[in-house]
Amino acid sequence: MKRRNFIRSTAASGIALAGLTGMMSATAGETVASNTAKFKLKYAPGLGTFKENAGTDPIDNIKFMADQGFRAIFDNGLMNKPAELQEKIAAELTRQGMDIGPFVLYADFGVKSMVYNDEESRKMLKEKLIQGIETYKRTGAKYALMVPGKYDDKLEWDYQTANVIECMRELSEIAEKAGMVIVLEPLNRWNHPGLFLTGIPQAYMICKAVNSPSCKIVDDMYHQQITEGNLIPNIDRAWDEIGAFHIGDNPGRKEPTTGEINYKNVFKHIYDKGYDGVLCCEHGNSKPGKEGELSWIKAYREVDSFEV
């Protein structure tokens, strides 16, 4: 993550109020009011988040998100979409002036993919990376997410760490030449037992050892609230190695305001640090249907209403 000095809009303080005025209940036969007031941060709903209001077509979803003031999207499955659809998504994002968050490059939770010095695994990962680079070229999705897989309780931890670092050095060298960034995601050990990478400090140490601008962290605040908490101090300590964020409240992994995380304070802190990257809304809806989707948007207007 790079610190950016950019001019803040003088209208930013009025975004939250403007945002709430654009909302209306959506029941059968009603339409959703337009609200083009832009959010302060690039919260990125996933394609399909608003299927009740916008349908299932990805382009219609992007138009709806832009109309509701969102400045980015994310799609974990982007790499597996047909090339023609990838290009259409990229063209619509360009037309709307929107960004796109990390897509999943490789995340197999059942395989010990990086903890061994294994030629076969590294060949497979490099092939995945080449495929991801082609996706990046078509879409401009610069950040690609990887999970190192499971650990081996029969091999000393330090050997496994060294193997992960060496693997990421090889992959990052390829990614850097292409202009792409690999982001490593730590996942909590309760929902995903047996995985090697679980915490922000651990991911930070690996990125420092790899020492490449193409090896960064995606800080999933839902997972990190479960694993270690202390969200803001860990953001500060790992700041220069964070490439992107994931959002989800805990417990439940639903939209902000439904759990214990004070996202309004967290988002203000991230905003004040000058972050202009994407924050992927990788969570579900606490309520069903059209009204649930509008409640989802309203929750983001609430947590985005911090003073600047």
Determine the Cα–Cα distance for residues 182 and 1; give it in Å rounded to an integer: 12
pTM passes above 0.85? yes
Residue 119 and residue 74: Cα distance in Å, rounded? 32
Domain 33-303, classified CATH 3.20.20.150, yes or no: yes
- Residue 35's pLDDT band (cuts 50, 70, 90): confident
The residue with greater pLDDT, 175 or 24, is 175
Confidence bin at 21 (pLDDT 50/70/90): very low
What is the C-alpha separation between 242 and 131, in angstroms, rounded? 23
Annotated domain spans of the chain: 33-303
Residue 106 has pLDDT above 60, yes or no: yes
Active site residues: 185, 282
| Exposure of 59 in the CB half-sphere (CA atoms within 13 A) | 11
Q: What angle do CA 172, 207, 151 make, to 5 degrees?
A: 90
pLDDT per position as a tens digit, 144-201: 999 999 999 999 999 999 999 999 999 999 999 999 999 999 999 999 999 999 999 9
pLDDT, tens digit, 9 for 90 and up, residues 61-99:
999 999 999 999 999 999 999 999 999 999 999 999 999
Sequence length of the chain is 308
Instruction: Express each pLDDT in 111-150 by its tens digit.
Output: 999 999 999 999 999 999 999 999 999 999 999 999 999 9
- Residue 9 binned pLDDT confidence (cut-offs 50, 70, 90): very low
**Which pLDDT score, from 0 to 100, does residue 34 have?**
78
pLDDT at 293: 98
